[in-house]
């Protein structure tokens, strides 16, 4: 087959395959959004657009104009869809349901037609725009499974439901979808008319797949950002931007890690807040008196002069489990003198790593459980909790603190900032109370939370972290902040009034989130910090602040289907024998180590290969400087490399003279350089004037600088394997 025939076959194959790939990608993209008919229309119009691109690419219409028309077409599709969707006349003519379907159909069709026509035309004009085609295919298939990627393993429903019903893992099916996407991308790239360009693109696609494999959790739920809550609930391997010192060191000035203190953050990043973190199974029918379930994991009670951190004093915060246990463990009993507490059993299955176990309010006993699915759950345990059965207001008139506390412990729980503004505000709050209540410590604590709820405004976009005392900047400033600010302010004011208080941290969930079942799904949005004060004979009482005003939208409720599904996965757990280890952990560790070693080995090999290619390319370019009698050969070779960098290389069966004539428009002097090289290689002439050769090489370089854009030249210079195309 001749070179022209080969190119013609490539073109005909591309003309047939590309519309199919565009159509399939558009159909997959619109499938989750609307009815099947809309996805079918998008598929058809995308195919038509890819076919229309063939004659459009041959017109004199400028490439930037085509790109602009494509963008305008997509915007017009969105505007047309919105207009028809809101038009009353359209709804009256076709009926509400049919009007919505037609609006979606028209919008998807116009958008698919505009996008596929412009992208395919750009790719036919210049092969560099094939990367946009790859992005289009990748985005379409990524959108199909994006919900699953962020923890919703029951999405998309049409795919996941049947697989889960059979006891399978939808992740495997999603990996097959990814493989199909990769096959389409590779097929799209292999339409290149050059074998070397096709091989290059195939190599890049394989490198991309390797990168995805090495950086993605293929099975199980995705890992949320480490320590993303800033509440010390999950491991954090890097400090916040606000806590780095001037030298960029990671250890804060107070000597505490991020897991031992609460972070004050400006413009709190809520990324990953909807990723599932744990599922809790309630073994008892318990209704929280406040309507909220509080899962306490840690507490911050030691004032260090700027904020509250985890305690270093012995004998305090003994109700907090210090770490995960490997056998059945009894914790410090919680006071329950008058029966205001009830004992509850819960099973907790963690979907993400945590620094320590959490429990429904106060934990009394923790038992590790065997993990039923290590690909889903990081750790499972059973906990016996002691939870309040009455509201905090019932403790008015009861003494606070514990008679058994030493003066040192009491001072620990009442230590507060010395800023006189706290005392002044505390006196103002007390002055607004009835005299008989102002003298009651429990009523004082409740008054503080009520006042902050009335006067404060909730927002994650606060700006107090840079202040010397972030809590004072919040409390005596705009009073706009999130739970860390409110919890600190409440505890400081309670302590100023003489009430032993601390900040608790963990998760809070509305009781309505149970959806009538026994499972509760916890996400990053449930991370919370709250104030609590100590009542004699009762223990720590949660007295949360609920700001009446909020500048942020409330997080969406948990997906009931996902909550039910994860709850079912976590059931049927058996107690783990004391001292037993997970038998598969060594094997899993070996597999992870092998994967890491493989990734590092492949990465090192790729680095060495790139380094070798660059060294060879550099040597071929500078070799004429050191050449003697071989100057005509190595000098000619160096200019061939320079031409190859801008995609000018000799075709299959093309003579050197014909190639020199073909590139004469970009580099006229290359024809003379070719003649001098051939004169040495195929004649009796043994050498040529070195100065003449060097002059011709300089002319070729100068002509390429004038005839080829600098972007194209620099891009070619950065490609390490461009010299492989020289011949």
Q: Which residue's structure tokens are 């008196």? A: 289
DSSP string, 560-603: HHHHHHHHHHT-S--BPPTT---TTHHHHHHHHHHHHHHHHHHH
Give Cα 434 to chain centroid, integer Å: 52
Exposure string over 297-336, b if 16+ CB within 10 A, otherwise e = bbbbbbbeebbbbbbeeeebbebbbeeebeeebebeebbb
How many other CB atoms are there within 10 angstroms of residue 669's CB atom?
Answer: 20
Residue 359 and residue 383 in contact, taking contact as beta carbons nearer than 8 Å: yes
CA dist., res. 282 & res. 383, Å (int): 10
Q: Under DSSP, is residue 682 helix (H, G, I), strand (E, B) or coil?
A: coil
**H or E element in which residue 280 lies:** strand 276-282
Task: Report the pLDDT value the prediction gives residue 193, as an integer from 0 to 100.
Answer: 47
Q: How far is CA 715 from CA 315, 647, 712, in A?
A: 66, 11, 5
Task: Report the pLDDT value the prediction gives residue 574, as an integer from 0 to 100.
Answer: 53
Residue 50 and residue 120 in contact, taking contact as beta carbons nearer than 8 Å: yes
How many other CB atoms are there within 10 angstroms of residue 152's CB atom?
Answer: 21
Q: What is the pLDDT of residues 220-240, one digit of tens each?
A: 444 555 545 567 788 764 444
> Is 80 exceeded by the pLDDT of residue 54?
yes
Say which residue, 294 or 718, is predicted with more confidence: 294
Those residues whose C-beta lies under 8 Å from the C-beta of residue 510, and which sit 6 or more positions away, are 291, 292, 293, 557
pLDDT-wise least confident of 155-169, 565-579, 607-621:
155-169
Q: Record the tokens describing residue 486, joined without a space.
A: 């409110």
Task: Report the pLDDT value the prediction gives residue 479, as an integer from 0 to 100.
Answer: 92
CA dist., res. 73 & res. 133, Å (int): 17
Say which residue, 203 or 319, is predicted with more confidence: 319
Closest by Cα among 391, 492, 491, 499 to 441: 499
Those residues whose C-beta lies under 8 Å from the C-beta of residue 596, and which sit 6 or more positions away, are none
CA dist., res. 226 & res. 237, Å (int): 7
**Left (φ > 0), alpha (ψ -120 to 50) or beta: where does 515 sit?**
left
Q: Which residue's structure tokens are 């709804």? A: 91
Q: What is the pLDDT of residues 555-591, one digit of tens each?
A: 777 777 677 777 777 775 555 544 444 455 566 567 6
* Separation of first and last alpha carbons in the chain: 20
Q: What is the pLDDT of residues 615-642, one digit of tens each?
A: 988 888 888 888 877 888 888 888 888 8
Task: Report the pLDDT value the prediction gives residue 200, as an integer from 0 to 100.
Answer: 55
Q: Record the tokens describing residue 104, joined without a space.
A: 């979606």
Single pTM value for the model: 0.57
Say which residue, 467 or 399, is predicted with more confidence: 399
Q: Under DSSP, is residue 354 helix (H, G, I), strand (E, B) or coil?
A: coil
Task: Report the pLDDT value the prediction gives residue 584, as an integer from 0 to 100.
Answer: 52
Going by their DSSP bridges, the two strands 302-303 and 308-309 should be labelled as antiparallel
- CA torsion 136-141-143-145 (nearest 10°) is -170
pLDDT-wise least confident of 68-72, 139-143, 185-189, 627-631:
185-189
Q: How far is CA 485 from CA 180, 317, 473, 492, in A?
A: 49, 21, 10, 11
> Is 80 exceeded by the pLDDT of residue 475?
yes
Q: What is the pLDDT of residues 683-712, one digit of tens each?
A: 655 566 788 888 888 888 888 888 888 877
Q: What is the pLDDT of residues 260-306, one digit of tens each?
A: 667 787 766 555 567 788 899 888 888 889 999 999 999 999 998 88
Q: How far is CA 392 from CA 340, 536, 540, 541, in A?
A: 10, 13, 10, 7
Q: Record the tokens describing residue 99, joined without a space.
A: 């009007």
Say which residue, 336 or 198, is predicted with more confidence: 336
Percentage above 90 pLDDT, the chain: 24
Task: Report the pLDDT value the prediction gives residue 360, as an integer from 0 to 100.
Answer: 93
HSE on the CB side for 489, CA within 13 Å? 32
Q: Under DSSP, is residue 615 helix (H, G, I), strand (E, B) or coil?
A: helix
CA dist., res. 236 & res. 503, Å (int): 20
Domain ranges (residues) in the chain: 3-197, 275-573, 588-725
Q: What is the pLDDT of residues 308-325, one digit of tens each?
A: 999 988 889 988 888 888
> Is 70 exceeded by the pLDDT of residue 543?
yes
Q: Which residues pair with 479 in a beta bridge?
A: none
Assign 10 a pLDDT band (cuts: 50, 70, 90).
very low
Task: Report the pLDDT value the prediction gives residue 246, as an integer from 0 to 100.
Answer: 33
Task: Report the pLDDT value the prediction gives residue 90, as an integer from 0 to 100.
Answer: 80
Closest by Cα among 450, 277, 228, 273 to 379: 277
Q: Which residues pair with 530 in a beta bridge?
A: 504
Q: Which residue's structure tokens are 């107070």? A: 254
Going by their DSSP bridges, the two strands 276-282 and 341-350 should be labelled as antiparallel
Say which residue, 320 or 211, is predicted with more confidence: 320
Those residues whose C-beta lies under 8 Å from the C-beta of residue 528, and which sit 6 or more positions away, are 231, 294, 483, 505, 506, 507, 508
Q: If you average pLDDT over each of 151-155, 240-244, 382-386, which comes out highest?
A: 382-386
> Is 90 exceeded by the pLDDT of residue 178?
no
HSE on the CB side for 268, CA within 13 Å? 27
Residue 388 and residue 336 in contact, taking contact as beta carbons nearer than 8 Å: no
Q: Record the tokens describing residue 3, joined without a space.
A: 């070179």
Q: What is the pLDDT of residues 637-687, one digit of tens each?
A: 888 888 888 888 888 888 888 888 888 888 888 888 888 888 877 765 556
Q: What are phi and psi of 281, to 5 degrees?
A: -105, 120
């Amino acid at each position: 087959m001749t070179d022209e025939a080969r190119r013609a076959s490539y073109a005909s194959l591309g003309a047939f395959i590309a519309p199919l790939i565009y159509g399939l990608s558009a159909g997959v993209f619109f499938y989750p959004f609307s009815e099947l008919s809309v996805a079918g229309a998008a598929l058809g119009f995308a195919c038509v657009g890819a076919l229309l691109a063939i004659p459009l690419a041959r017109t004199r219409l400028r490439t930037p104009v085509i790109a602009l028309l494509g963008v305008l077409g997509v915007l017009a599709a969105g505007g047309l869809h919105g207009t028809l969707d809101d038009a009353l006349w359209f709804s009256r003519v076709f009926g509400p349901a049919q009007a919505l379907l037609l609006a979606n159909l028209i919008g998807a069709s116009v958008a698919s037609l505009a996008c596929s026509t412009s992208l395919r035309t750009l790719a036919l004009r210049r092969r560099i725009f094939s990367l946009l085609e790859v992005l289009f295919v990748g985005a379409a298939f990524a959108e199909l499974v994006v919900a699953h990627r962020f923890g919703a393993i029951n999405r998309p429903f049409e795919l996941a439901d049947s697989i889960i019903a059979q006891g399978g893992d939808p992740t495997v099916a999603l990996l097959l979808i990814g493989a199909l996407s990769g096959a389409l991308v590779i097929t799209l790239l292999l339409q290149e008319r050059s074998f070397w360009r096709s091989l290059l693109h195939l190599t890049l696609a394989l490198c991309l797949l390797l990168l995805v494999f090495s950086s993605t959790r293929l099975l199980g739920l995705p890992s949320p950002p480490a320590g993303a809550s800033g509440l010390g609930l999950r491991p954090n391997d890097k400090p916040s931007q606000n806590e780095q010192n001037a030298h960029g060191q990671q250890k804060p000035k107070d000597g505490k890690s991020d897991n031992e203190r609460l972070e004050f953050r400006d413009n709190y990043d809520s990324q990953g807040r909807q990723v599932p973190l744990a599922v809790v199974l309630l073994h008892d029918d318990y209704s929280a008196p406040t309507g909220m379930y509080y899962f306490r994991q840690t507490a911050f009670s030691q004032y260090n002069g700027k904020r509250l951190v985890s305690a270093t004093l012995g004998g305090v915060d003994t109700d907090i489990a210090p770490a995960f246990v490997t056998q059945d463990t009894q914790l410090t009993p919680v006071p329950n003198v008058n029966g205001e507490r009830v004992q509850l059993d819960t099973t907790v299955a963690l979907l993400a790593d945590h620094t320590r176990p959490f429990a429904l309010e106060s934990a009394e006993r923790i038992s590790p459980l065997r993990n039923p699915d290590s690909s889903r759950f990081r750790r499972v345990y059973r906990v016996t909790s002691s939870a309040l059965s009455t509201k905090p207001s019932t403790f008015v008139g009861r003494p606070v603190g514990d008679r058994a506390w030493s003066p040192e412990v009491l001072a620990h729980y009442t230590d507060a900032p010395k800023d006189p503004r706290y005392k002044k505000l505390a006196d103002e709050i007390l002055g607004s109370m009835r005299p008989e209540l102002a003298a009651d410590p429990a009523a004082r604590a409740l008054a503080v939370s009520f006042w902050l709820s009335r006067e404060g405004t909730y927002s994650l976009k606060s700006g107090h972290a840079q202040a010397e005392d972030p809590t004072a900047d919040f409390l005596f400033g705009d009073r706009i902040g999130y739970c860390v600010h409110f919890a600190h302010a409440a505890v400081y004011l309670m302590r100023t009034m003489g009430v032993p208080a601390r900040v608790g941290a963990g998760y809070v969930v509305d009781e309505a989130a149970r959806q009538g079942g026994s499972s509760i799904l916890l996400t990053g949005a449930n991370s919370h910090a709250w104030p609590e004060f100590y009542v004699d004979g009762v223990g720590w009482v949660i007295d949360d602040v609920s700001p009446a005003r909020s500048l942020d939208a409330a997080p969406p409720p948990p997906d009931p289907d996902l909550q039910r599904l994860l709850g079912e996965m976590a059931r049927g757990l058996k107690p783990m024998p004391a001292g037993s280890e997970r038998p598969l952990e060594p094997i899993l560790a070996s597999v992870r180590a092998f994967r890491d070693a493989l990734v590092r080995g492949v990465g090192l090999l790729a680095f060495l290969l790139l380094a070798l290619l660059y060294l060879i390319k550099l040597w071929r370019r500078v070799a004429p400087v050191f050449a003697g009698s071989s100057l005509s050969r190595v000098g000619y070779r160096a200019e061939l490399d320079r031409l190859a960098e801008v995609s000018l290389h000799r075709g299959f069966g093309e003579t050197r003279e014909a190639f020199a004539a073909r590139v004469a428009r970009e580099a006229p002097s290359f024809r003379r350089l070719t003649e001098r090289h051939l004169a040495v290689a195929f004649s009796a002439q043994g050498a040529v004037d070195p100065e003449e050769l060097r002059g011709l090489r300089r002319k070729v370089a100068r002509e390429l600088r004038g005839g080829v854009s600098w972007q194209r030249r620099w891009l070619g210079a950065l490609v390490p394997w461009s010299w492989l195309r020289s011949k």
